[in-house]
Structure 1
Amino acid sequence: MSAAPKAIMTSRYHEVYGHWQRDSHGFWAEAAQAIDWMRPWAQVFDPTLDVYGRWFPGALCNTCYNALDRHVERGRGAQPAIIYDSPVTGTKRSISYSGLLSEVRTLAAVLRDLGVAKGDRVVIYMPMVPEAAVAMLACARIGAVHSVVFGGFAAKELATRLDDAEPRLILSASCGIEGARIVAYKPLLDEAIDLARVKPEKCLILQRPQAEASLVKGRDLDWAETVAAARAAGKDADCVPLAATDPLYILYTSGTTGQPKGVVRDNGGHMVALAWSMQHLYGIDPGEVFWAASDVGWVVGHSYIVYGPLIHGCTSILYEGKPVGTPDAGAYWRVIAEHGVVALFTAPTAFRAIKKEDPRAALLAGHDLSRFRTLFLAGERADPDTVQWAEHILGVPVIDHWWQTETGWPVAANPVGLGVLPVKHGSPTVPMPGYDVRVVDEAAKELPANTMGSIVVRMPLPPGCLPTLWKADDRFRESYLTEFPGYYKTADAGFVDEDGYLFIMGRTDDIINVAGHRLSTGGMEEVLASHPDVAECAVIGVRDELKGEVPCGFIVLKSGVTRSPVEIEAEIVALVREKIGPVAAFKLAVTVGRLPKTRSGKILRGTMKKIADAEPWSLPATIDDPAILEEIGEALRRHGLGG
């Protein structure tokens, strides 16, 4: 195994961040030179427009043109744009920039012929197949606003999104494949349309051989047949000029009221931010192979599977598989070696799964990772133990970075393209240009270094972030701007240390109050994860009559551990007492076979807490495997919790 990498001590970060602080408009005008504009902007930022202002008003552009056409025009047509690698179907396919442009032009013509025009919404409900990326780009080409809903979402949840987006057309597939399980999408889609108040005019269905679907006469069209007919007739569609402030897509994130929040992304600022981040944050050059191991249904898939890499002229991996089980815990090493990946972006939970199945990284042997330079982790807090394990086995920088669906690109990171800053385990490092990050108390007063508080961003938000919620300006203000006037509320909690490094300790509702002491569950999880037998963990606060709340830890043991769980649980309790102190009142560790997660890998701590407190709870729409919650309930009842 390789030794852990040494940080590069010289970085241009402070110089670049200082440039943004001194002249934010000049900074973003310079960054915007990476994009091809049909008409320049009237001003870089107009604070009088919409909720808090808009970036590049007056400019005309087209995201699809910047992602495809311009690269073909400038000689990059033969380069692979997307490499589709699907271990669940045994399929691999490389699509060049020229080939992808041809497919997008044809599908865009199909959409146009079906009545879709600029500003119309199109819902995309698809698995991780190339056609999903083609669908997104085809919408962008003609100015339709796409809304990708994660394939396999429950019918009720899909219906709420249909009612909110009011799509003219739905693009879907007959099925998706989750590991070894085939998920039929079409029955879910049919049920959602039945439930929805707003019905689409047409549905274009991609038939997959694993489970073909029956089509509804007069509404559903066969994808392959329709596209083939359009191609035979020589139909294609040119790029439609769009305002930089026109919406590119809507992406729904869960709302506290049960009503999903439609995050809006614009065209101009989005391209500028992604292009800047690919070069300066991820350190990727045009022509290199970048892999975001996520799904197009999540923001990572939008920003760093489809739009970011293609706008920057890279080759993007589109992977239909899992980190383990397709076929084993060496799947990621195979993809990196086979396709010459220089950087991987995935969730920490993926590496915890790999570590659990193959703690000594034996499956890494025999794979040539000589071109691999950087591992990026995001989507949830990257615990130091997982980061250090990855550093040890890979011998490359492991970069934790932090952002949200709402921001669209990283808020805080260690900017590889500017030179790696010294790593502090447990921190996503420092704010990126555009983000003035503060830690404040309940009265929006800034807190001193190393003091836990609410993490906020001084307004205005930079290019690429949401300008508002779909058809819900007031809800946007209430959700993000009202509680801390002058700031965007991230709903994350943490602190900034004396060197300006940011530490994200969890969502604000993950800070528990134990007998008047505010304690971070993230800090406790660090301690649990440091135990040599623990593969994964989660800590929640459960109701306690005496102390208000007390922590409860859940642990998943590494494969091959044969010691008694009771013995390990006792060691965990002692470890927290040693590292954090009696103030934590940590007395309960529960061993479980697995943790409940969303399909994007986030642990469902809020649902676990409701189960522990015997409160009513509903099945989360994004859950990966509902049966896990029953296992959690049984484990809690054995310890006298959960009712």
Structure 2
Amino acid sequence: ELTIAVLACARIGAVHSVIFGGFSAQSIADRLQDAQAEFVITCDGAYRGNKEIPLKGVMDDALVQCRFVKKVIVLTRTRTPVSMIKGRDVWWEDEIRKVETQGNPDCPAEIMDAEDMLFILYTSGSTGKPKGVVHTCGGYMVYTNYTFVNVFQYQPGDVHFCTADIGWITGHSYIVYGPLSAGATSLIFEGVPTWPDASRFWKIVDKFKVNILYTAPTAIRSLMGFGTEPLAGTDLSSLKVLGTVGEPINEEAWHWYDENIGKKNSPVVDTWWQTETGGILISNIAGVTPAKPTFATLPVPGVQPVLVDETGKVLEGNNVSGNLCIKFPWPGILRTTYGDHERCRINYFSTYENLYFTGDGCLRDEEGNYRITGRVDDVLNVSGHRIGTAEVENAINMHAGVVESAVVGYPHNIKGQGIYAYVIFTDHNDDVELTKKDIALTVTRIIGPIARPDKIQFVTGLPKTRSGKIMRRILRKIAEGEKENLGDTSTLLDPGVVKDIADGML
């Protein structure tokens, strides 16, 4: 029904903005307010593994702050009791019935300009509130189709299974628009890959004879932990192409995927792209160009990446690493950030002149292959989800008793990056562990479970320069378990604070 709702919006020329089901009421309200959305489509509840998510209840909490919403369409899914407000809330099934009673009258597709807005998708930045990335009808359609057909070498009749959530860009581009515009069969599943057990993906592949499987390194690492037993008795011979998305894949996970899932005869495409790019920018092309474990390899034809140093000087030749930029537009490039074009300019086009700045660090090997090394700004990649450190800090700072906080990423063997929070807390707290749980709950309430810190360390101070800027580089090193080589701390206001933090390292 989510796919139906998205495509129905596109058909009548309405702009859609899908919100991931794991967000808190506050996160939803922020997005509704920014977009000034007038119509909401939701479910009574949703299933995620053995948990029920009370979607309508969360939405009702969000709507308290959003009086401008005119109608809420509610689909029955979990049959959980919900509040339905007269004049505002209607049941999806009733609305469908009304149309059927009228004899299903034709609903012609609205004729749109190529540059008319298709959707807004909110994504985290390095500062403040999430920003609404805007994609348009023509360019986005052309680019998702072009990249889908070429990168995965789609053949008519192939069954494509992208395991993403439609609430993220991967689901928009490679569950809905890319495959369906190519006439492909797109398979959608509800839930998590480890429930009812870790054979869920493999049983789906076997049952529906999946040809293309596109998933995230996080899922692969999680399933690797269960060994090969869940694969027993499943036939994966239908698979022709494997793909990964969301974060750079580590070598061990790449080989496990290649050997156990692809049986070494399905090319693995390691696709690098972003919410803002609309579709894949750098990837090997299945069976056409060679794969190299941990490398996204080469740009999709037409895409022009460049590496620059801190000053913006373009690094020529191979065996170099720098900041990844794109020097020429492509059809799927974001058009603006909704309601704030200046923010779009500053975020993406002001760091380096006449270049789109990705926010990623990258190296180019001797053969010209690109390998993404991770964000160079204050953005974390947790299980392939993008989370701004500023957002998490703002949420922690709203907790009573917190004076200040600093959030960094650290290596996590399942999620890729975990969230490590350093917190200055005023009150003398008797129960440190309970206080940590309280703070984690505040973050969950304000943003959602995906932003909950994995580790919280109480500190007396943070390493700040004389101008008051937090030196995150030092905090990152400590979070990574490094106590000794912390670099130059002479410019800090109080270098002593660093030793205290290192001594209290979790």
TM-score normalized by the length of structure 2:
0.78
| Equivalent residue, structure 1, for 2:346 | 478
Q: How does 1:263-278 map to 2 (within 5 A)?
A: 263-278=133-148
Query: Separation in 2 of the partners of 1:164 and 1:371?
Result: 44
Change (3 A) 1:193 1:436: same
Match of 2:7 among 133, 137, 155: 137
Q: How does 1:4-403 map to 2 (within 5 A)?
A: 131-196=1-66, 199-234=68-103, 235-324=105-194, 326-356=195-225, 358-359=226-227, 361-394=228-261, 395=263, 396-403=266-273
Q: Is the 8 A contact 2:40 2:72 kept in 1?
A: yes
Count of matched residue positions in the alignment of Structure 1 and Structure 2 = 425
Q: Is 1:641 matched with 2:504? A: yes
Change (3 A) 1:638 1:367: farther
Q: Is the 8 A contact 2:27 2:447 kept in 1?
A: no
Query: Separation in 1 of the partners of 2:50 and 2:203?
Result: 19
Tell me the amino acid that sits aligned with residue 285 of structure 2: P
Q: Is the 8 A contact 1:612 1:642 kept in 2?
A: no
Query: Separation in 1 of the partners of 2:423 and 2:63?
Result: 35
Tell me the amino acid that sits aligned with residue 382 of structure 1: I
Change (3 A) 1:221 1:431: same
Q: Is the 8 A contact 1:171 1:205 kept in 2?
A: yes
Query: Separation in 1 of the partners of 2:47 and 2:409?
Result: 34
- What secondary structure sits across from 1:611 in the alignment? strand
Q: Is the 8 A contact 1:148 1:297 kept in 2?
A: yes
- What secondary structure sits across from 2:275 in the alignment? coil
Q: Is the 8 A contact 2:23 2:448 kept in 1?
A: no
- What secondary structure sits across from 1:170 in the alignment? strand
Tell me the amino acid that sits aligned with residue 192 of structure 2: K
- What secondary structure sits across from 2:171 in the alignment? helix
TM-score normalized by the length of structure 1:
0.62
- What secondary structure sits across from 1:304 in the alignment? helix
Q: Is 1:507 matched with 2:362? A: no
Q: Is 1:422 matched with 2:285? A: no
State the Cα distance separating 1:149 from its structure 2 match: 0.7
State the Cα distance separating 1:209 from its structure 2 match: 3.2
Query: Separation in 2 of the partners of 1:477 and 1:344?
Result: 36
Query: Separation in 1 of the partners of 2:425 and 2:351?
Result: 30
State the Cα distance separating 1:614 from its structure 2 match: 8.7
- What secondary structure sits across from 1:386 in the alignment? helix
Query: Separation in 1 of the partners of 2:409 and 2:169?
Result: 31
State the Cα distance separating 1:366 from its structure 2 match: 1.6
Query: Separation in 2 of the partners of 1:210 and 1:283?
Result: 41
Q: Is the 8 A contact 1:613 1:641 kept in 2?
A: no
State the Cα distance separating 1:633 from its structure 2 match: 5.0
Query: Separation in 1 of the partners of 2:448 and 2:252?
Result: 25
Query: Separation in 2 of the partners of 1:345 and 1:271?
Result: 19
1:368-423 per-position Cα deviation (integer Å, ceiling 9, x unaligned): 1111011100101101110011112122222211000010111100112xx43222
1:579-598 per-position Cα deviation (integer Å, ceiling 9, x unaligned): xxxxxxxxxxxxxxxx6x6x
1:14-64 per-position Cα deviation (integer Å, ceiling 9, x unaligned): xxxxxxxxxxxxxxxxxxxxxxxxxxxxxxxxxxxxxxxxxxxxxxxxxxx
Structure 2 unaligned blocks of 5 or more: 382-388, 390-407, 427-438, 459-477, 480-499
- What secondary structure sits across from 1:382 in the alignment? coil
Query: Separation in 1 of the partners of 2:285 and 2:412?
Result: 33
1:570-615 per-position Cα deviation (integer Å, ceiling 9, x unaligned): xxxxxxxxxxxxxxxxxxxxxxxxx6x6xxxx74x4x42x338999
Query: Separation in 2 of the partners of 1:439 and 1:180?
Result: 45
Tell me the amino acid that sits aligned with residue 619 of structure 1: V
- What secondary structure sits across from 2:368 in the alignment? coil
- What secondary structure sits across from 1:471 in the alignment? coil
Query: Separation in 1 of the partners of 2:102 and 2:164?
Result: 36
Tell me the amino acid that sits aligned with residue 101 of structure 2: A
1:240-279 per-position Cα deviation (integer Å, ceiling 9, x unaligned): 1000111111101013332221111111111111221122
Change (3 A) 1:426 1:280: same
Q: Is the 8 A contact 2:126 2:378 kept in 1?
A: no
- What secondary structure sits across from 1:489 in the alignment? strand
Query: Separation in 2 of the partners of 1:495 and 1:554?
Result: 19
Q: CA RMSD in A?
A: 3.0
| Equivalent residue, structure 1, for 2:488 | none
Query: Separation in 2 of the partners of 1:250 and 1:335?
Result: 31
Q: Is 1:443 matched with 2:311? A: yes
1:85-111 per-position Cα deviation (integer Å, ceiling 9, x unaligned): xxxxxxxxxxxxxxxxxxxxxxxxxxx
State the Cα distance separating 1:509 from its structure 2 match: 3.5
Q: Is the 8 A contact 1:299 1:405 kept in 2?
A: yes
| Equivalent residue, structure 1, for 2:443 | 619
Query: Separation in 1 of the partners of 2:63 and 2:238?
Result: 47
Q: Is 1:455 matched with 2:324? A: yes
Tell me the amino acid that sits aligned with residue 199 of structure 2: G
1:307-360 per-position Cα deviation (integer Å, ceiling 9, x unaligned): 111100011111102111x1111111101111011011111000000001x22x
Q: Is the 8 A contact 1:493 1:506 kept in 2?
A: yes
State the Cα distance separating 1:491 from its structure 2 match: 0.1
Change (3 A) 1:210 1:351: farther
Q: Is 1:465 matched with 2:289? A: no
State the Cα distance separating 1:236 from its structure 2 match: 4.0
Structure 1 unaligned blocks of 5 or more: 1-130, 512-520, 523-539, 541-550, 557-594
Q: Is the 8 A contact 1:375 1:397 kept in 2?
A: yes
Query: Separation in 2 of the partners of 1:464 and 1:349?
Result: 26
Query: Separation in 2 of the partners of 1:171 and 1:393?
Result: 40
- What secondary structure sits across from 1:619 in the alignment? helix
- What secondary structure sits across from 1:456 in the alignment? strand
Query: Separation in 1 of the partners of 2:126 and 2:373?
Result: 20
Change (3 A) 1:632 1:342: farther
Tell me the amino acid that sits aligned with residue 167 of structure 2: G
Tell me the amino acid that sits aligned with residue 376 of structure 2: T
Q: Is the 8 A contact 1:156 1:192 kept in 2?
A: yes
Identity of aligned pairs, percent? 35
Query: Separation in 1 of the partners of 2:324 and 2:501?
Result: 37
Change (3 A) 1:612 1:368: farther
Q: Is the 8 A contact 2:44 2:76 kept in 1?
A: yes
Query: Separation in 1 of the partners of 2:220 and 2:424?
Result: 30
Q: Is the 8 A contact 2:443 2:449 kept in 1?
A: no
Query: Separation in 1 of the partners of 2:501 and 2:346?
Result: 41
